[in-house]
Amino acid sequence: MPKRIDHIAIIVRDIEQALVFYRDTLGITPGEIKEVPGEQVRIAFLPLGGPGGSEIELIEPTTPDSSLTKFLEKRGEGLHHVCLEVESIDAALAEMQEKGAPVLDKQPRIAAEGRAIFLHPRGTNGVLLELLERS
């Protein structure tokens, strides 16, 4: 089912401030920083491990009323989710529903890197889990 860890997402108040640590201290150069208006976020991808490696994804909410802003206000900065790459998001969704996993999405959503679904932390030992089919 999962092929690899695609990325680990960290929610931050300010990407530029977070990059002082990740870029300037750890030396991880962002591959891309982009705004995703549909998700109300700004994202910085920090590639690790060369081609096909995993990434750290810094997520900054861009609107005061988004669910990610509420998450940040309630829990503070830190781990937001772990993303696992799958071959087929449609097959993964059907399998998760068949097995009774707490899927948050009825249909795959458009993500920054492809199509994805999320699994609720109550069924994944407390971690929001994203399954992603890269485009």
The mean pLDDT of 34-62, rounded to a whole number, is 93
Domains of the chain: 2-134 (3.10.180.10)
First to last CA, the chain: 17
Instruction: Name the token pair of 31.
Output: 């591959």
- CA 108/CA 132 separation, integer angstroms: 9
The mean pLDDT of 36-52, rounded to a whole number, is 91
Q: Given this model, what pLDDT does residue 127 score?
A: 96
Instruction: Name the token pair of 43.
Output: 């994202």
The mean pLDDT of 66-86, rounded to a whole number, is 97
Q: Given this model, what pLDDT does residue 73 score?
A: 96
pLDDT interval class at 107 (50, 70, 90): very high
Counting runs of H as helices and runs of E as strands, what totals does the chain give? 3, 8
Other Cβ atoms less than 10 A from the Cβ of 94: the count is: 12
- What integer best gives the mean pLDDT of the chain? 95
User: Strands 109-111 and 78-86: what pairing?
Assistant: unpaired
Instruction: Name the token pair of 36.
Output: 């995703």
Residue 12 near residue 69, CB atoms below 8 Å: no
The mean pLDDT of 2-10, rounded to a whole number, is 96
